[in-house]
Chain A
Amino acid sequence: MNKLRQTMLVALAVLLAAVFLLPLIWMLSTSLKNDFEALAGQMNFIPKKPTLDNYIQGLNGDLMNVPIMRWIMNSLSVGMIGTAIVLLIDSMAAYALARLSDMPFRKTLFSMFIASLMIPGVLTFLPMYMEFNGLGLINTYAALVLPYTAGAFGVFLLYQFFISFPKEIEEAARIDGANKWQIYARILLPASVSIMVTLGIFTFMGIYNDFVWPLYATTSPEMRTITAGIALMSQGSYTQAYGKLMAMTTIATLPVLIIFIAGQRSFVKAITQSAVK
């Protein structure tokens, strides 16, 4: 009886997995079809005439005449630069808030940062656009990076880690004559590699996958991120060029999917940390 129940549960899990994975497999399969076959309306997962044309055109930059490689590079650079900045400034701030008790306005600042986690993005979206517009920074890399540096999640996550870090190690270093910067750079940072990786993956995926802000914050084809670019393609004249569109989305998804699967443990940790507030 127990055996039967177990088998039925596994069967249910497999069925559900098929539902979840089918759209992704279909994306991959369609990307290997020519446009004619992609539009034929058949359910063949293995293309009759498999072709890499869609990918070759993509890598050559003449897939639908859009600079898809440029978009990927934009997304990757913006994601990496943004993540680097977030890791640096968040860890410094979290160190000061958690360990440097003589910092003025420490409690006030901390409460403000935590309170900002409650602010819905819609509140800052339009004024942020007007701010960047006023500074003449719309359609620049600055506009694609800077808004993500204000998020308090990283400060909160690292604060929790630093506050529980043993005081004795820090004290010993201080007695040996280490200053604050040395304690931060040589003791706390090396000790927080794993939590920094967690925050890094979380931040990178957030920036790489964001789509509404880059859609409005960029105006010329060469500044688009891959998510904004794909959104525009899907609404444009190539709506039904499914083979090409799917090659594009497969290329776009590959970097995050690799990071996601490789760093899943870390990513899960970041999510569950956010729930135990």
Chain B
Amino acid sequence: MKTTWKSRLSSSLFALPYTLCFAAFMLFPIGYGIYISLHDFELLSQEHPFVGLSNYIAIFTSGTYENALFFNGLWVTIQFVLFSVPLLILVGLGIALLVNALPRRIRGLFRTFYFMPYAISASVMAVIWLMMFDTNAGFLNSMLQQLGIASIPWLTDTPWVWISLIATTLWWTIGFNMIIFINALNEVPEDYYEAASIDGANAWSKFRHITLPSIRPVMLFVMITSTIASFNIYAQPFLLTRGGPGDTTRVLLMNVLDHAFIRKEVGSASAMAIMMALIIMVISVVQYRLTYGRKEGN
């Protein structure tokens, strides 16, 4: 191919529009976010004095408002991650195994049923479940009443708030993990199972010794994406429990956005957002290392 400056220019022009968008709405915001976090950036004020690292120092100084806001939110978020991620993986895999065990001609239908809630937006999901969980007129409590069981305060009392948040999260997003797992299961070579059958292996040992090792990279992918998604949880507590009861379900992202948009402290909120992003990235890398590091060790 000719490598005249003209050719190089025309080649660059193809990549130019996307590169400009990338620079304006990805690179610039990252840099600008760091800049904002180093300033006392009050949303409505014209003056934004440079304050160095003090927004970060405040987060890590015990007793400050920022410290409480960040670490309380972080703790609530971590609880949600710990409760939800194992279920997102196990239930996702379980449903994938169920779908694959069905007669071939009805597989697609059931896959669609379980995947359908994934197509719904966060706010529609929340409104539907607000109605399902309604203490007096909700579907679930009406059902319990018919069975002679007392109403449950799904969205207003612990531990029910956690059960509600996790149940809605599973209902809404499990289809994604199921799809990934179905795809992975279908890629395990059929002859592995045939060979194992000849050796007299039962279903459990086939699952344990063939299926699990084969889908291990996909497990890691699902674990990382589920952890990231759960860390970013916002819509469910924001719309369903509004962080309650008290601050029990006030997750980190709620605190960061409220700090920026209600208290107008964008500088300090940006420092929190950057810390949160760093935590998410570190956890992803650690999960990756742990899984692959162990494999290399063997």
Contact = CB atoms under 8 A, between A and B. Distances in A.
A179 B218 CA distance: 41
Interface in A1-54: 6, 9-10, 12-13, 16-17, 19-24, 26-27, 30, 38-43
B88 interface: no
B22 A24 contact: no
A275 B114 contact: no
Interface stretch (B137-145, B158-166, B194-202): B137-145
Interface string B114-125: 111101111110
A211 interface: yes
Given A92-B15, A209-B121, A240-B137, A102 B8 contact: yes
A121 to B, nearest CB: 7
B22 A113 contact: yes
Contacts, number: 268
Nearest to B98: A13
A84 interface: no
A5 B84 CA distance: 30
Contacts of A208: 121
Interface string B122-159: 11101111111010111101110110000000000000
Interface of A: 6, 9-10, 12-13, 16-17, 19-24, 26-27, 30, 38-43, 88-90, 92-93, 95-97, 100-104, 109, 112-113, 116, 118-131, 146-147, 149-150, 152, 155, 179-181, 184, 205, 208-212, 216, 226-228, 230-231, 233-235, 239-240, 242, 245-246, 248-249, 252-253, 256-257, 260-261, 264, 268, 271-272, 275, 277
Interface of B: 1-3, 7-8, 10-12, 14-15, 17-19, 21-22, 24-26, 28-30, 32-33, 36, 41, 95, 98-99, 101-103, 106, 110, 112-117, 119-124, 126-132, 134, 136-139, 141-143, 145-146, 171, 176, 179-180, 183-184, 218, 221-222, 228, 231-232, 234-235, 239, 242, 253, 256-257, 260-261, 266, 269-270, 273-274, 276-277, 280-281, 284
